Amino acid sequence: MVRGRQQHSGQPSSRRRRRKRGPDEPPDHALGRSRGGFGTKLHLVTDGQGLPLAVEVTPGQQHESTQFETLMNAVRIRQEVGRPKCRPERVAGDKGYSYPRIRRWLRRHKIEAVIPQRDDQIAQHRGRPLKFDKDAYRERSIIERCIGWLKECRRLATRFEKLAVNFLAMIKVAILERYLKIAFSDRA
């Protein structure tokens, strides 16, 4: 014994701890710094009534457009008869989604894009102006209301969970709660 500890070779006890990270956990725990401060960015797809269809979390500094294809591939719209529909008829997004890559992806999947052009793209664009439906774009407030509803859930707004997978699980529990509330309110 030396000064109250056993003397042996090996790593110090602080480094022997088991990592809490699973295979799905990102190395940064989906935490990062953005203009709004330190936090997590929530990427969400909803239907026309504001019901969430797919959700992802990323660090605060990661751009919205990086998760577009992942979210759209996760969408499954249940139908009365037959297989679930995988693609919506149109997608509304803000100027953060106005990229040629996203517009090509939407055209390839025969989805109408309701995304306004950024100011720097209008000057670069040659030929026929892109079609933009202002009335359909106004319906984008539905997703803003859904995000506002999620922020009312205190556990989500303050992010009590350290691990991103646990935080995503809490978001999905809140979404399930919303689905159940709507399902049981329709019966009454």
Within 10 angstroms of residue 33's Cβ, the number of other Cβ atoms is 11
* pLDDT for the residue 15: 55
Tokens of 53: 């269809």
**Which pLDDT value is given to residue 65?**
87
Strand order in the sheet with 32-34: 32-34, 37-46, 52-59
- By DSSP bridging, strand 90-92 and strand 52-59 are unpaired
Q: What single-letter DSSP state applies at residue 169? A: H
- pLDDT value of position 16: 52
Query: Which residue has 């439906």 as its token pair?
Result: 133
* Cα 84 to Cα 51, 77, 110, 143, distances in angstroms: 16, 5, 17, 22
Given this model, what pLDDT does residue 102 score?
92
Q: Which of 67, 58, 62 is nearest to 26 (CA)?
A: 58
pLDDT reported for residue 125: 64
Complete domains list, the chain, with CATH: 26-187 (3.30.420)
Find out whether 75 and 53 touch, Cβ atoms under 8 Å: yes
Q: How many CB atoms lie within 10 A of CB 169?
A: 12
Distance in angstroms (rounded) separating the CA atoms of residues 59 and 40: 5
| pLDDT less than 50: residues of the chain | none
Stated pTM of the model = 0.74
Predicted pLDDT at 175: 92
